[in-house]
């Protein structure tokens, strides 16, 4: 291959545009570019989780497809961790690069942004647009790309701005000269995209299907051929991924429906109202709403919106005379289908006809499909303007008009882009890379040394966090995950907690119940060994079961924000009871005002019999001063037919009336559980009762679904209660022993 002369190389269009893009983004991100492996974009929530799963899978997990960092001792399938399996597969063999994984990830993300305008340069030059116009529009599209916002959200696997435009190149090339080789390329690349993120794999696969299907509509005599190629390129990768997951996923009982599938959608404001910048207030007032959720955000930019308003009437009027590229029209055709998906149309149709299509309800954030319309609209608009001006004006005027429109678009996007990149100042790119060994403090290194010397089996953070099963939630505190991921990555130990999505419901139940010291035989016990757990306790408030575990933990070090210790499985099995023990034997209702104890096992009324979440069902009423003021432990058993987020979207409400004032003092979610009985979950909360107040305890939820409760127990914090039923089943503080 003959090398280009230096001058020719420098002035090559693609190289020049790349350098222009690099210079532009360097104005905002040069501190990041020079510190790729020492900074994190953020260290909370999804950001921290997706950094951790990525680096842990590369360095510590023994299996390609099994992630064992979270959810000890079960682990998780890599696809459900957002760890970008394709990249982890590639980086695992290069052990010398493991400590630079974060820097490599940042490099790839920003490189994808810099490659985005190059894909548009190819597309615009393919349809004949002048070079300077192509440069301007390509950069303008990239500046407001919704993929940059994914970095802020911590969704790094979705932050690759060049992937959707690159699929356009493949489709245009196919439309120019269809071939089996190109279809095979589609199939293989779409399969691989599932291993970056399933939404990319699903989205681009379906986009290929609709685009090639559009081509089939205009090919008489070859429609069956093109339809078969559409199926191979668009549907077969989805089927292959489903088979792959069926064969490789060994985690049972995932929730059948994720939270947010009908909420994380788009609307008109998702395309027309920004969350940033100088036009935010003006556009929200003009449109009359703001985006429903960030997942559906695909803001087009005011420049493009104005150009569309000005140009569309003329383009529509002359549409029959414009020789529009059928390949580009096929992209618009596919984008319209995706627009309907992003608006949640499929959910509205199901609701209208009273049906449920489980396959469609599996997707949490359909608003993400709005991204395709963002990338297609400016491409089609400037192609149509080019053909329109060519039809009506001389080439010289045509080029000038196009340049004016392109410059107008670019200037507006540069203006809004400044706000887009600066709005997160102070919120992004100011955290140290905690996965870089060189960035650890002396104390962190000392703690790691103690972990290795004590030969522990796993890390147990307090408060415990178990988020992602779509059914149960334990703690949304940031610090427990922050510290546990630091020590997990550098020690290679798994974490007895989970922050993922669609985690097995049964595994989550067993994981949460490790804190239940009352139960004699827990399902998780047979999967553990005799080594200690390393306990990290932060300053956030603990739940009652966590306090019981901390009492039996051997403390060894602490600082202003964190305490550390070790606990054995044997000590975790010791039920902790208060010095004063009250016994209730064979009674289904027990109310003792002198001891301030209320116990109601069952009664012939709702919600002790099946009720509906949307009702306000009273459980118990304590008249003014009937119970002594002070700290109480409130618990009950909760029953629901379906273990879904809807079935658990119920709350235990404690209303307080003092004089004429009536308030809901506590709204306690019943999805935050501390244990499990026979067909029920057990909730346990600490509350404070005040003097001269009347209290009402009732349940109320969100959905039109059935539920029931039993074993309502209210006891002072210093008193333990043992309940022995007629069947001789013992409850200690409302937790069954069996």
Is residue 60 over pLDDT 60? yes
Residue 328: CA atoms inside 13 Å, Cβ hemisphere, count? Answer: 21
The CA-to-CA distance between both ends of the chain, in Å, stands at: 75
Closest of 650, 645, 653, 621 to residue 708, by C-alpha: 650
Specify the pLDDT at position 361: 63
Q: What's the CA gap between 244 and 251, in Å, rounded?
A: 14
Mean pLDDT across the stretch 166-187?
91
- Answer left, alpha or beta for residue 354, where phi above 0 means left and psi between -120 and 50 means alpha: left
Of the two residues 293 and 607, the one the predictor is more confident about is 607
Structure tokens at 212: 């090639």
Residues 6-19: what's their mean pLDDT? 73
From CA 425, how far away is CA 463, in angstroms rounded? 30
Nearest to 472 by CA among 683, 308, 690: 683
Burial state string for 419-448 with b = 16 or more CB within 10 A and e = fewer than 16: ebbebbeeebbebebbbbeebbeeebeebb
pLDDT score of 6 more than 50: no
Alpha-helix residue ranges (DSSP H) falling in 318-394? 326-342, 345-353, 371-392
Structure tokens at 149: 């916002």
Closest CA to 196 of 367, 362, 81, 63: 81
- 580-736: which CATH topology? Jelly Rolls (2.60.120)
Residue with tokens 């089943």: 729
Beta partners for 689? 630
> Mind giving me the DSSP string for 69-130?
SSSTTT-EEGGGGT--HHHHHHHTT-GGGGGGHHHHHHHHHHHHHHHHHHHHHHHHHHTT--
Both structure tokens of 382: 């400037």
If you average pLDDT over residues 2-8, what whole number do you get?
51
Per-state percent for the chain, helix, strand, coil, to nearest 5:
50, 15, 35
The DSSP code for 233 is I
Total Cβ atoms within 10 A of residue 529? 9
At 183, list the tokens. Answer: 């279809």
Are 301 and 413 a contacting pair, CB within 8 Å? Answer: yes
**Structure letter (DSSP) for residue 63:** S
Per the omega criterion (within 30 degrees of 0), is the bond before 607 cis? yes
Q: What percent of the chain has pLDDT over 90?
A: 67
Amino acid 257: pLDDT? 75
Q: Which residue has the higher pLDDT, 730 or 2?
A: 730
pLDDT reading at 625 higher than 60: yes
- The Cα–Cα gap between 493 and 297 comes to 38
Q: Dig out the tokens for 184 from the structure.
A: 């095979």
571 Cα distance to chain centroid:
36
Name the DSSP class of 474. B
- Tokens matching residue 262: 């009908």
- CB distance 261 to 367 below 8 Å: no
Range 300-314 average pLDDT: 94
Q: Which of 124, 20, 139 is nearest to 381 (CA)?
A: 124
In the predicted structure, residue 250 carries a pLDDT above the cut 80: yes
> What are the residue boundaries of the structural domains of the chain, listed by start?
1-54+81-161+399-428, 166-251, 261-392, 440-572, 580-736
- 214-225 exposure pattern, b = at least 16 Cβ within 10 A, e = fewer: bbbeeeeeeeee
| Residue 26 binned pLDDT confidence (cut-offs 50, 70, 90) | very high
Which 3 state secondary structure label does DSSP give 292? coil
Instruction: Map tokens 């096992």 to a residue.
Output: 601
Q: C-alpha dihedral over 119, 123, 126, 132, to 10 degrees? A: -80
DSSP string across 331-348: HHHHHHHHHHHHTTHHHH
Residue 463, preceding peptide bond in cis (omega within 30° of 0): yes
C-alpha pair distances (Å), 710 with each of 335, 544, 616, 635: 51, 20, 16, 10
- Confirm if 94 and 87 have CB atoms less than 8 A apart: no
Pairing of strands 580-585, 719-724: parallel
Give φ, ψ of 407 to 5 degrees: -65, -40
> pLDDT tens digits for 264-284?
888 888 899 998 889 999 999
pLDDT of amino acid 366? 82
Minimum mean pLDDT among 18-27, 250-259, 319-328, 361-370: which range?
361-370
* pLDDT 10s digits, 609-624: 999 999 999 999 999 9
Q: Give DSSP secondary structure letters for 578-590.
A: -SEEEEEES-SEE
Conformational region of residue 651, where left means phi above 0, alpha means psi within -120 to 50, and beta covers everything else: beta
Q: What average pLDDT does range 631-651 have in this prediction?
A: 92
pLDDT band at 21 (very low <50, low <70, confident <90, very high): very high
Mean pLDDT score of the chain, rounded to an integer?
Answer: 90
């Amino acid at each position: 291959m003959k090398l280009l002369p230096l001058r020719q190389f420098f002035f090559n269009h693609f190289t020049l545009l790349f350098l222009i893009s690099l210079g532009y983004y360097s104005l905002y991100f040069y501190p990041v570019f020079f510190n790729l492996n020492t900074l994190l974009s953020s260290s909370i929530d999804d950001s921290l989780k997706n950094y951790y799963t990525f680096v842990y899978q590369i360095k510590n997990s023994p299996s390609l497809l099994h992630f064992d960092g979270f959810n000890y001792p079960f682990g998780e399938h890599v696809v459900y961790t957002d760890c970008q399996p394709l990249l982890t597969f590639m980086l695992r063999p290069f052990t010398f690069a493991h400590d630079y994984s974060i820097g490599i990830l940042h490099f790839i993300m920003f490189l994808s942004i810099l490659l985005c305008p190059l894909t548009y340069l190819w597309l615009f030059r393919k349809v004949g647009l002048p070079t300077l116009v192509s440069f301007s529009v390509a950069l303008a599209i990239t500046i407001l790309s919704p993929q940059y916002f994914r970095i802020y959200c911590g969704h790094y696997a979705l932050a690759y701005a060049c992937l959707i435009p690159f699929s356009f190149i493949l489709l245009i090339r196919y439309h120019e000269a269809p071939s089996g080789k190109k279809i095979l390329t589609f199939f293989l690349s779409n399969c691989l995209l599932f291993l970056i993120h399933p939404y990319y794999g699903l989205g681009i696969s379906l986009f290929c299907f609709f685009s090639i299907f559009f081509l089939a509509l205009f090919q008489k005599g070859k429609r069956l051929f093109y339809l078969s190629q559409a199926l191979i390129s668009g549907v077969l990768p989805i089927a292959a991924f489903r088979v792959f997951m069926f064969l490789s996923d060994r985690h049972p009982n995932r929730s059948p429906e994720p939270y947010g599938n009908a909420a994380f959608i788009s609307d008109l404001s998702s395309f027309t109202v920004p969350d940033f910048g100088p036009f935010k207030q003006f556009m929200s007032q003009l449109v009359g709403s703001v985006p429903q959720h960030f997942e559906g955000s695909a803001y087009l930019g005011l420049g493009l919106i104005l150009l569309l308003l000005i140009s569309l009437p003329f383009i529509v009027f002359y549409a029959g005379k414009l020789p529009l590229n059928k390949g580009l029209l096929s992209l618009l055709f596919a984008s319209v289908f995706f627009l309907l998906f992003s608006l949640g149309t499929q959910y509205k149709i199901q609701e209208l006809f009273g049906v449920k299509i489980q396959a469609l309800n599996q997707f949490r954030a359909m608003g993400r499909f709005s991204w395709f319309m963002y990338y297609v609209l400016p491409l089609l608009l400037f192609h149509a303007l080019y053909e329109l001006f060519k039809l009506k004006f001389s080439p010289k005027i045509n080029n000038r008009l196009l340049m004016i429109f392109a410059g107008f678009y670019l200037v507006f996007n540069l203006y809004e882009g400044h706000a887009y990149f600066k709005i997160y100042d102070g919120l992004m790119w100011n955290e140290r890379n905690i996965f870089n060994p060189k960035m650890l403090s002396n104390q962190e290194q000392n703690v790691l040394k103690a972990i290795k010397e004590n030969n522990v089996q796993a890390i147990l953070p307090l408060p415990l966090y178990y988020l992602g099963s779509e059914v149960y939630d334990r703690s949304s505190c940031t610090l427990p995950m922050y510290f546990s991921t630091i020590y997990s990555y550098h020690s290679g130990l798994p974490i007895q907690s989970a922050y993922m999505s669609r985690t097995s419901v049964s595994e989550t139940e067993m994981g949460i119940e490790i804190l239940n010291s009352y139960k004699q035989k827990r399902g998780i016990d047979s999967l553990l060994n005799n080594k200690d757990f390393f306990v990290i306790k932060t300053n956030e408030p603990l739940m009652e079961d966590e306090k019981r575990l901390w009492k039996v933990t051997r403390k060894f070090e602490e600082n202003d924000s964190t305490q550390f210790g070790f606990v054995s499985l044997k000590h975790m099995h010791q039920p902790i009871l208060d010095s004063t023990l009250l016994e209730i034997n064979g009674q289904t209702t027990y109310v003792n005002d002198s001891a301030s104890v209320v116990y109601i096992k069952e009664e012939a009324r709702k919600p002790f019999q099946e009720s509906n979440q949307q009702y306000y069902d009273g459980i118990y009423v304590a008249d003014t001063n009937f119970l002594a003021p002070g700290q109480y432990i409130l618990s009950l058993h909760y029953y629901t037919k379906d273990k879904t987020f809807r079935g658990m979207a119920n709350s235990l409400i404690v209303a307080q009336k003092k004089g004429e004032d009536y308030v809901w003092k506590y709204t306690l979610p019943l999805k935050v559980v501390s244990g499990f009985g026979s067909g029920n979950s057990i909730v346990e909360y600490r509350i404070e009762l005040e003097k001269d107040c009347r209290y009402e305890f009732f349940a109320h939820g969100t959905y039109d679904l059935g539920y029931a409760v039993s074993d309502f127990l209210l006891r002072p914090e210093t008193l333990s209660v043992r309940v022995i039923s007629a069947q001789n089943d013992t409850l200690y503080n409302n937790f069954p022993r069996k």
